Amino acid sequence: MKDQALPKAIEAILDIARWAPSGDNRQPWSFRIKGDRDVEVLIRRSDSNVYEYRHGEPTLISAGALLENIEIAAPAYGLKATWRYAGSADGIDHIAVSFRENDTAFVPELFDEITRRSVDRRLFRMDSLSGKQKTLLSEALNLELQVQWFNRLSDRRRIAALSGLATNIRLTIPETFAIHGSIVDWENRESEHAIPSRALGLDPLTLWLTRWSMAKWSRTKFMNALGAPYFASLQMDFLPGLFSASYFAIRLTRRSSEPDAALVQIIQTGQAIQRFWLTATKLGLVMQPCIALLAFWSYAAAGQKFTSLRKMQGAAGELATGAAAIFGKIDDVVFLGRIGLPRDRSDSRSTRLPLSQLLER
């Protein structure tokens, strides 16, 4: 492709947009400059990642978050952004983004929250969400989506236990070993390409043991035999779940049956979830997605084998039964998370790769 300079306004927009959330901070996107007002976004889904349930739905939701950031940032630079799905080839989804002049340049309400939003895996304050907060969060979603709140202590306890079971599964099965080894940054408080170990929500001793065990699968199996996943899930799931304002489920009221339309619908769902998350940030709230719970529930509900360990496949069946008793059918659940007010400001977070590394020339 002919090398083209990136217009300054679009460069600034993409530089902000790259702060979209993605599973394990993988940032599965890159950009191709197609002209003064056109950018192609390339999204890479992974069939080998066990967390990419329903044919890479988490990545498509992340793609929607990226596109929402683009649409929010564009007016601040005198532009309006629109996008269309341009098909898939060689495992890459192509999204065409076009920019045009906007008669009125303004800074959108959620603009400043894009770089402030992050995942918080620590204990939250237990203050309940107000009716106004819930209303504002609900209004951030589109008409096809509904949010369901689970704020009672009994509900939080049940969901926290299920989330802990999901962690026990993911720390035990061999299919996640290589993934976990590549997503944790053990050296830095902020990481461009991974999750800083200090942001995992584990105490120093458990962190040290986790780092030691993740170096070799034989060590991981040894620690699993000693029950290490149960102790980790206590710190990473059960206690944080109790110390929250609420869990929540975002539901898609009606899924499209046509493949490309269904894909676009999930991307648009990702846009709405990003607005929800940015609104929460503006309200001073923090969130943590429950991706593992949704992933293993999805596999079990579909009767899909995801691991060679029969015992963990059975555990996923137990998880699915428990989740269905709380949330109902999985078909329309597109996002699960917990939310609340932070106890203090975190000194560790995932950052993002520089824009220069995301540009394809």
Residues 178 and 325 in one domain: yes
- The two tokens of residue 15 are 């530089």
Q: Tally Cβ neighbours within 10 Å of residue 87.
A: 12
Residue type, 119: V
What CATH number is given to the structural domain containing 19?
3.40.109.10
Cα separation, 85 vs 70, in Å, equals 15
What CATH number is given to the structural domain containing 221?
3.40.109
Choose one of 116, 150, 181: the last residue of a domain: 116
Which SS3 state, helix, strand or coil, does residue 38 take? strand
Residues 90 and 137 in one domain: no
Per residue in 128-151, pLDDT tens? 999 999 999 999 999 899 999 999
Q: Which residues contact 335 (CB under 8 A, 6 or more apart)?
A: 61, 249, 250, 269, 273, 289, 294
Q: Assign 3-state DSSP to the chain and report helix, strand, coil percentages, each to 5.
A: 50, 20, 30
Q: Could you tell me the CA-to-CA distances from 356 to 15, 86, 332 in Å, in that order? A: 9, 24, 38
Identify the pLDDT of residue 2: 41
Residue among 229, 212, 203 nearest 292 (CA) = 229
E strand or H helix at 97 = strand 92-101
Residue 4 has pLDDT above 60, yes or no: no
pTM: 0.95
Residues 89 and 199 in one domain: no
Residues 220 and 76 in one domain: no
For residues 165 and 217, the answer to whether their CB atoms sit within 8 Å is no
Identify the pLDDT of residue 5: 61
Range of 276's domain?
131-350
Residue type, 216: K
- 135 falls within a domain: yes
Choose one of 85, 116, 147: the last residue of a domain: 116
First to last CA, the chain: 7
User: Residue 113: left (phi > 0), alpha (psi -120 to 50), or beta?
Assistant: alpha
For residues 92 and 172, the answer to whether their CB atoms sit within 8 Å is no
Please provide residue 240's backbone torsions phi and psi, each rounded to the nearest 5 degrees.
Answer: -60, -35
- 206 falls within a domain: yes
Residues 200 and 292 in one domain: yes
- 3 falls within a domain: no
- 112 falls within a domain: yes
- 184 falls within a domain: yes
Residues 154 and 278 in one domain: yes
Per residue in 194-229, pLDDT tens? 999 989 988 888 889 999 999 999 999 999 898 888
**Number of domains making up the chain:** 2
Residues 185 and 277 in one domain: yes
- The two tokens of residue 186 are 């053990």
Residues 76 and 168 in one domain: no
Cα separation, 189 vs 21, in Å, equals 18
Percent of the chain beyond pLDDT 70?
99
Residues 281 and 342 in one domain: yes
User: Residue 201: left (phi > 0), alpha (psi -120 to 50), or beta?
Assistant: left
pLDDT tier for residue 82 given thresholds of 50, 70 and 90: very high
